[in-house]
Amino acid sequence: MEKLEKDIQSLILTDLRSMGKYCICFKIIKTSDNGIGDIFFSTKKTGGVFVETKRPKGIAEKLQKNKAEKLNNCGSKAFFCYSWNEWIELKNKLGLNTRNLSL
């Protein structure tokens, strides 16, 4: 069964919360600007990261792509994530594992 966007968000947030005191994360429900990612988290290693989740085969809207590009250009990190497997790949890309979060 294909996971829904909210299911992927829930899995990612649970995973981030399991990292303990070296990671802060929350679901972004509404901001004054549209197009901001669904999840925000920060660690010493990553700094601020926004993740826009989409269901598999979902399509990122032009506004979302533009906001992600602007966030990346301004020193934050913004990514799109379409599945749990993509989240695992992103975690690896960012070097997120509980052994090195305090670095």
Question: Is the Cβ–Cβ distance between 67 and 79 less than 8 Å?
Answer: no
pLDDT digits (tens, 9 = 90+) for 17-54: 999 898 999 999 988 888 899 999 999 989 999 999 99
pLDDT digits (tens, 9 = 90+) for 65-80: 999 999 999 999 999 9
CATH of the domain at 9: 3.40.1350.10
Residue-level pLDDT at 102: 56
Residue 102 maps to a domain: no
Residue 80 maps to a domain: yes
Asked whether the predicted pLDDT for residue 7 surpasses 70, the reply is yes
DSSP 9: H
Domain that holds residue 31: 5-94
User: Structural domain tally of the chain?
Assistant: 1
Q: What are phi and psi of 87, to 5 degrees?
A: -60, -45
